[in-house]
Amino acid sequence: MVITELLERNARLYGSEIALVEINPSEERDNAVTWRDFNLIENANPDAPYRRELSWKDFDRRANRFANLLLSRGYRRGTKVAILLMNCLEWLPIYFGILKAGCIAVPMNFRYASDEIEYCLDLADVELLIFGPEFVSRMDLIAEKLSGVKMFYVGKNGPTYTEDCMRLMNFCSSSAPPVALEEEDHAAIYFSSGTTGFPKAILHNHRALISSCRTEQNHHGQSREDVFLCIPPLYHTGAKMHWFGSLLAGSKAVLLRGVKPEWILRAVTEEKCTIVWLLVPWAQDLLDAIEDGRVDLNDYYLDQWRLMHIGAQPVPPSLINRWKRVFPAHQYDTNYGLSESIGPGCVHLGVENIHKVGAIGKPGFLWEAKIVSPDDKEVEQGDVGELIVKGPGVMLCYYKNKEATDEVLHGDWLYTGDMARMDEDGFIYLVDRKKDVVISGGENLYPVQIEDFLRGFDKIKDVAVIGLPHARLGEIAAAVIEIKEGMECTEEEINTFCEGLPRYKRPRKVIFDKVPRNPTGKIEKPVLRARYCSGRLVEAQITG
Closest CA to 204 of 312, 315, 343: 343
Quick one: which of 258, 228, 224 has its CA closest to 240?
Answer: 228
Query: Can you say how many angstroms the Cα of residue 170 is from the centroid of all Cα atoms in its chain?
Result: 30
Domains in the chain and their CATH numbers? 3-258 (3.40.50.12780), 354-435 (2.30.38.10), 438-532 (3.30.300.30)
Q: In the chain, which stretches have pLDDT less than 70?
A: 27-49, 193-197, 312-314, 432-435, 518-522, 534-544
CB hemisphere CA count around 154 (13 angstroms): 23
pLDDT, position 534: 59
pLDDT at 518: 58
Q: How far apart are CA 155 and CA 210, in angstroms?
A: 31
Residue-level pLDDT at 197 = 58
Check: CB of residue 155 under 8 Å from CB of residue 32. yes
Asked if 201 and 401 touch (Cβ cutoff 8 Å), the reply is yes
Neighbours of 412 (CB within 10 A): 12
- The H-assigned helical ranges of 47-113 are 56-72, 91-100
Rounded CA-CA distance 426/350 in Å is: 13
Q: Pick left, alpha or beta for residue 332 (phi over 0 → left; psi -120 to 50 → alpha; otherwise beta).
A: beta
Residue 24 to residue 26: CA distance in whole angstroms? 6
- For 476-504, letters b (16+ CB in 10 Å) and e give bbbbbbebeeeeebeeeebeebbeeeeee
Q: Measure the CA–CA gap between 474 and 321, rounded to whole angstroms.
A: 16
pLDDT of residue 315: 73
E strands of 118-256, at which residues?
A: 126-131, 150-153, 163-164, 186-192, 200-205, 227-230, 252-256
Q: What is the pLDDT of residue 179?
A: 96
Alpha-carbon distance of 471 to 354, in angstroms, equals 21
Question: Helix (H, G, I), strand (E, B), or coil: what is residue 5?
Answer: helix
Residue 306 to residue 251: CA distance in whole angstroms: 15
List residues bridging with 463 in a β-sheet: 481
- For β-strands 186-192 and 200-205, DSSP reports them as antiparallel
What single-letter amino acid sits at 142? Answer: I
* Tens digits of residue pLDDT in 483-510: 988 889 999 999 999 999 988 899 999 9
Count CB neighbours of 152 within 10 A.
23
494: Cβ contacts below 8 Å, ≥ 6 apart: 454, 457, 479, 481, 507, 510
Question: Distance between CA 19 and CA 36 in Å, rounded?
Answer: 16
pLDDT value of position 55: 98
Closest CA to 309 of 379, 230, 378, 367: 230
Instruction: Please report how the helices 261-271 and 280-291 are oriented relative to each other, as an axis angle in degrees rounded to 10.
Output: 90
Give the per-residue pLDDT at 93.
98
DSSP readout, 159-193?
-TTSEEHHHHHHTS--SPPS----TTSEEEEEEE-
Residues 6+ apart with CB under 8 A from 160: none
CA–CA dist 177, 169 (Å, integer): 13
Are the C-beta atoms of residues 103 and 79 closer than 8 Å to each other?
yes
Q: Report the run of H or E that residue 251 belongs to, with start and end.
A: none
Residue 522 confidence (pLDDT): 61
Q: How long is the chain? A: 544
* Separation between Cα atoms, residue 60 and residue 72, nearest integer Å: 18
Cα distance between residue 205 and residue 394, in whole Å: 9
- Please, which contacts does 42-45 make with residues 24 or more away whose CB atoms are closer than 8 Å? none
Q: To which H or E segment does residue 3 belong? A: helix 3-14
